[in-house]
Amino acid sequence: MPTDNDKAPLKITADDLARVIVPDVAVGPVGPAGTTATGARSYGTISEAADMAPAVAEQKGSIFLQGWFYLGAAGLLGALLGWGLCERSFVDGVGHTWANFWMLPAIITFMCIGYGVSESAVERSGRKAILRGLLALPLGVVLGFVFDLVANLIYNIALSVCAEAGVQSFRNPAVWIARGIGWAVFGLAGGTVYGIVGQSMKKAKYGIIGGLIGAGIGGMIFDPIIMAVHRASLSRAVGFALFGAATGAAMGWVESALKDRWLYVTSGPLAGKQFILYKSLTTIGSEQKSDIYLFKDPSILGQHAAIAISGSRVQIKALGTSYVMGSPITTRVLQDGDLVQIGRYAFRYKERHRS
């Protein structure tokens, strides 16, 4: 009785294979309704679905996380605190007390502390804020007294120039400019401390440039405020508060304008915050000592990733689960516009293109 094994074997020749036509399948980004960029429908694979990064929606950034805002607020509060400690013992006119000697250095000291801790405070890193505040305190005291002497020297020289030019009244804008020139040096103190606590010379440079601009503006508006507010103590409060705010806000604006590489947080608790990449190695993780501290996400390791800069090459190295442009990575060279995802945080990597 014949069996299946008795059937003639099926033979496929090279000519048979040559006549087989395989339809082209487009490979590309998946578009709406599961179609690829060329319009062909793609259903993906199990491995692709497992490797894809979770979808995250871009969130609107908060103004409280903008550098110009929190540095301006820190300068305002620091100036008010320094003024408040000295004002009750301050003597107008003839006679001086310790408060007359301490007021400006105290204001500069607390402004410096504010600039030192504000960034860590908005990033919810209490430990880092405390350490930076302890470092900023002695620096602020020393620089406050040093730059108070320098500012007074420059201001008196500028007043002498005004007097030689025939200026007789403090209502003359030339005197306002003279104070602005003198007080601009206080911005050196704020910018220097900001860079030292941030462990970056470039950050200090941007802070000093912004501080000079902001403190100069604050100095120029001080006398008009004094004339507009007739009560001496209140006028000093308003004048010094605006001086501190202008100095801090200008530091934030200049730093943002001159940055060349940064991560902008598009999703997560810090949405709207930008992390400027100053260092050759920037650490990312759930430990507060990390340069970029990511909190309230148990999936993020203490030392989760790092960004290394070597010349024009910017590379991310991940120890924990991380994605770039939706794909899981361990090491990846970043390009302008890349989306980096770590836990519930998403960052857009940006570069400034120079001509």
Main-chain dihedrals φ then ψ at residue 258, nearest 5 degrees: -100, 0
Using a pLDDT cut of 90, give the percent of the chain over it.
74
Domains along the sequence of the chain with CATH? 4-39+43-51 (no CATH), 63-258 (no CATH), 261-351 (2.60.200.20)
Instruction: List beta partners, residue 265.
Output: 347
pLDDT top residue among 45 and 173: 173
Q: Hey, is 17 helix, strand or coil?
A: helix
pLDDT at 45 over 50: no
pLDDT at 252: 96
Share of the chain above pLDDT 70, in %: 85
Between 42 and 330, the higher pLDDT residue: 330
Parallel, antiparallel, or unpaired for β 292-293 and 323-324? unpaired
Lowest mean pLDDT among 37-51, 54-68, 338-352: 37-51
- pLDDT tens per residue, range 308-337: 999 999 999 999 999 999 999 999 999 999
* Confidence class for position 239, pLDDT limits 50, 70, 90: very high
Which of 192, 210, 195, 349 has the alpha carbon at shortest distance from 284?
A: 349
Rounded to whole angstroms, what are the CA distances from 340 to 148, 320, 331? 46, 13, 12
- Determine the Cα–Cα distance for residues 281 and 272; give it in Å rounded to an integer: 22
Does residue 20 carry a pLDDT above 50? no
Please give the average per-residue pLDDT across 8-34, as a whole number: 45
Q: 70-91, pLDDT tens digit by residue? A: 999 999 999 999 999 999 999 9
When pLDDT is cut at 50, 70 and 90, the band that residue 50 belongs to is low
pLDDT at 17: 41
Question: Residue 172 corresponds to which amino acid?
Answer: N
- 167-215: per-residue pLDDT in tens? 888 889 999 999 999 999 999 999 999 999 999 999 999 999 999 999 9
Q: What is the pTM of this model?
A: 0.82
In this prediction, residues 298-302 reach a mean pLDDT of 96
State how far the Cα of 266 lies from the Cα of 269, in Å rounded to an integer. Answer: 10
| Arithmetic mean of pLDDT over the chain | 87
173 vs 61, residue with greater confidence = 173
Determine which of 13-27, 93-107, 303-317, 341-355 has the lowest per-residue pLDDT on average.
13-27
CA-CA-CA-CA torsion sign (176, 206, 245, 187) = negative
pLDDT at residue 9 in the model: 53
Which range has the worst mean pLDDT, 54-63, 66-75, 249-258, 334-343? 54-63
pLDDT of residue 39: 46
